[in-house]
Structure 1
């Protein structure tokens, strides 16, 4: 088999395996969670009898793990995402408008984080001494140690910023040190020092030599930044009441809405798998030593 085809098949196989494991894990966690077959109507005497009968029928029809798996994944094979158990509408109708909201939030958060990280890293890394690094190290370490939910809650209580600021800060503090070290190492290479000695301006060195040389590393790092932002999207959307996929996933988990939670989980797993696939060839190419 052609090596390129073999690598492609391997990556697609890993992506499919990731999605299958995510689906099975989600179904198992929801099915065996305490009180999965419960309904708020059971607390009302007017509906308790009929609600209990419906729940018993539901449990008899697809109460086992195998039955749930066969029903949910079988529907996915036929392009049917199912119907929301809590909202009683098709899952596709719930996810489509929220997908745009979450996509816009992710894009703005990653772009803002990278703008902030590059704004700090470029001038500091271009210095001849590392005098400015210590002033950034302490706040960066503090923000890295702070949970996303705590950071979002602090912004909400202080009435300062919003979900984009929280995601941008998370991306910036995580990527700043990596970008700084990468730029610092490149600035100190012999040919860049020689260009400086010849009097070539710093903006020209950055535009013509520095950024093109680091394109692959920065693209791979940006791909991982998207994965990081995606992992933080649930607490950010819940705390700031953003009507996106993260809030929908939280609502589905609280209301034991299996079809919705499974759809959101598989979508996020697919996004993470594709991002990893895109970053892997770039990282492998950078690992090959130059002749």
Structure 2
């Protein structure tokens, strides 16, 4: 097990190093000069050259990359060109909105999809299966931002039950903060719940057709016991795979929903940094997203080994 963990960690580090260099190189190739954007079109060449020197933009690519990586390891993500504050503080501040939003959305997705997909598999071709299939197809086809707009029209404008946007901050209290995140979480959760419902149904159906479930039924176990004690636990590997991918998507892909609800989250920060050509913020946020994806894949791989001991022999 230790050897497997060591190999996975080595792969994680190498992947993260390669991704970090790729991110830095792509950001360097983007058109536009941050110094020109910061100073405007009326700046003199001398002023531009002085600012580029201050920002380190006149240094070679590999030298700047080494400085950036060294700063990341030291906890210094650099200074935002636009806001004039440390990028690490900006990311932590925005993560306090995006991370709870993603957790709330993934919990809603699990609560909706796992029971529905399991019920659809247990009653194949029945009413529950038809409902689950219809829900899955509709929710996957509908974009999150369109669901967000419908929720605002219905619950904020028509019924006046929920806020249309904004975030009061956690200092305002737990309930006001969760109240502001509820509609964005639903808008993010519904498409993911559709995907998870389909995967859960397929995984549970596959395990129900395995020899060990038929043996359990032959021994006299009830259909419910076979379903929840044997079929569902053995269907967790593909379900966990999708959950890991969905969580990273919810953190990194909430740009549109955060903009619709005017939430000061990480996705909105990335959008603002892109429009303002704030390279330092952009590359740090993208690196954070990439590191999150790599870390979640690592954790999902480790959970496979914990759930299914047979995978330890193959690894």
For normalisation by structure 2, the TM-score amounts to: 0.74
Aligned to 1:18: 15
Q: Against the structure 1 CA distance between its residues 175 and 92, is the aligned structure 2 distance closer, same or farther, given a 3 Å change threshold?
A: same
Deviations 1:215-246 (A, max 9, x none): 45544443233233234222322332221211
Q: 1:88-107 alignment to 2 at 5 Å?
A: 88-107=84-103
1:65 counterpart = 2:58: no
1:82 counterpart = 2:103: no
- 1:172 and 1:221 mapped to 2: Cα distance? 10
Q: 1:241-252 alignment to 2 at 5 Å?
A: 241-252=262-273
Deviations 1:12-59 (A, max 9, x none): 23222332333223323332222223225425xxxx347x64432233
Aligned to 2:297: 276
Distance apart, 1:85 and its partner CA: 0.8
- 1:238 and 1:205 mapped to 2: Cα distance? 45
Distance apart, 1:277 and its partner CA: 1.2
Q: Against the structure 1 CA distance between its residues 62 and 56, is the aligned structure 2 distance closer, same or farther, given a 3 Å change threshold?
A: same
Runs of 5+ unmatched residues, structure 2? 157-181
Give the secondary-structure state (helix, strand or coil) at the position aligned to 1:80.
coil
- 2:63 and 2:272 mapped to 1: Cα distance? 24
Aligned to 1:39: 37
- 1:221 and 1:30 mapped to 2: Cα distance? 30
Bigger shift: residues 194-203 or 155-164: 194-203
CA contact (8 A) 2:145 2:187 kept: no
Alpha-carbon RMSD across the aligned residues, in angstroms, is 3.3
- 2:124 and 2:30 mapped to 1: Cα distance? 58
- 2:93 and 2:273 mapped to 1: Cα distance? 16
Aligned to 1:255: 276
Q: 1:82-231 alignment to 2 at 5 Å?
A: 82-127=78-123, 129=125, 132-153=128-149, 155-156=151-152, 162-189=183-210, 192=213, 201-231=222-252
Residues paired across the two proteins, number: 282
Deviations 1:139-159 (A, max 9, x none): 533433444445445545665
CA contact (8 A) 1:217 1:283 kept: no
For normalisation by structure 1, the TM-score amounts to: 0.79
Q: Against the structure 1 CA distance between its residues 26 and 254, is the aligned structure 2 distance closer, same or farther, given a 3 Å change threshold?
A: farther
Distance apart, 1:190 and its partner CA: 5.3
